Structure 1
Amino acid sequence: MTRAPRIMRIFLLKTCDTCRKALKALRDAGHDPEVVDIRADGIPQAEIARFHAEFGNRLVNRSARIWRDLDDAERAEDPVTLIGRHPTLMKRPVIDDGATLHLGWTEEARAALL
């Protein structure tokens, strides 16, 4: 039985410099990831829940402008619901290499993916 090839997906914001660097590096390394722009395409709630199960509260980008604009009641909401309503609150990129999830374009992510 042959296995289907793993599909790499990168969840990003097309206007984010770090996301663009990650996508370019992945492509330069021979990967052809499926690109999901979190603002234009949205993120399915099930994916947000999966990311949150993996990364916990690290998934919420507390340095985002939108985070600073939220009131205390909104900040106290369930992170999955909050990111569903405000996708740009998600730290990015999130890269699913088909076996492992990676959060951010960190040294560890680069070592694992390039």
Structure 2
Amino acid sequence: MINIYGIKNCDTCRKALKTLSAAGLDHQYSDFRVDGLSSDNLDKWIVAVGWEKLLNKRGTTWRNLSDGIKNSVNEAVARDLMLENPTLIKRPVFDTPQGVIVGFTKTEQALLGF
């Protein structure tokens, strides 16, 4: 089973869910805003892919942070920020039996078997 994490109004998350459903792949979706985010999951993802890949610096939440915070980001700060503001996590996050995959570009789709 593939566990997918994201937010419901994210176009990329919707595209990923539609693709997995069309392929008949067994999956479960968790919305950060509705279901929350466990520190255990976040720590697992950071170990698997690195905090730099997980931290979404292109979104509105990042742009709304103060320059002081943005300029002082390291792994510990990024972890705390992502726990406090899960929309700072690049989406979607796929937790698969083979490992953690972040995003849904052609590269990630190939890793998922599409």
> With structure 2 as the length reference, what TM-score do the two structures score?
0.87
Q: What number of residue pairs does the alignment pair up?
A: 108
Runs of 4+ in 1 over 6 A off after TM superposition: none
Query: Which residue in 2 is equivalent to 1:90?
Result: 89
Residue 59 (structure 1) aligned with residue 54 (structure 2): yes
Q: How far does residue 81 in structure 1 lie from its aligned partner after superposition?
A: 0.9
**Equivalent residues in 2 for 1:1-114 (5 A)?**
7-56=1-50, 57-75=52-70, 76-77=72-73, 78-113=77-112, 114=114
> With structure 1 as the length reference, what TM-score do the two structures score?
0.87
Q: How far does residue 74 in structure 1 lie from its aligned partner after superposition?
A: 2.8
Partner amino acid for 1:63?
R
Q: Deviations over 1:5-53 (max 9, x none)?
A: xx21000111001110001101111112111101111110111111112
Partner amino acid for 2:13?
C
Identity %: 36
Q: Deviations over 1:41-70 (max 9, x none)?
A: 111011111111222211111011111111
Higher helix share: 2
Distance in 2, matches of 1:47 and 1:74, equals 23
